[in-house]
Amino acid sequence: VPLSIGMAAAVRVGNKVGERDFQAARYSSFYSLKFGGILALFNTLFLLLFAELVVSSIWPSDPEVIELAVILLMFAAFFQIPDSLAMCGMGSLRGYKDTVGPMIIMLVAYWMFALPFGYSLAITDFWTIKLGAQGMWVGMCIGLVIASALMIWRLNYTTNRYLTIRYEN
Report how far residue 165's alpha carbon sits from residue 156's, in angstroms, rounded to the nearest whole number. 14
Instruction: Please give the pLDDT value at position 166.
Output: 65
In the prediction, which pLDDT does 169 show?
A: 57
Burial of residue 71, with CB atoms counted within 10 A of its CB: 0-12 exposed, 13-18 middle, 19 or more buried: middle
C-alpha pair distances (Å), 143 with each of 24, 47, 113, 151: 30, 20, 5, 12
Nearest to 73 by CA among 98, 101, 46, 33: 46
This prediction has a pTM of 0.87
Contact present, 104 and 93 (Cβ < 8 Å): no
CA 108 to chain centroid, in Å, comes to 14
Residue 111's H or E segment, with its range, is: none
Q: For residue 82, how many C-alpha atoms fall within 13 Å in the half-sphere facing its CB? A: 19
Contact 28, 110 (CB under 8 A): no
Please report, in tens digits, the pLDDT of each residue of the chain (169 residues total): 889 999 999 999 999 999 999 999 999 999 999 999 999 999 999 999 998 888 888 776 778 888 888 888 898 999 999 999 999 999 999 999 999 999 999 999 999 999 999 999 999 887 788 888 888 999 999 999 999 999 999 999 999 999 887 666 5
pLDDT reported for residue 62 = 76
Amino acid symbol at 76: A
State how many domains the chain has: 1
- Which domain covers residue 117, as residue numbers? 2-168
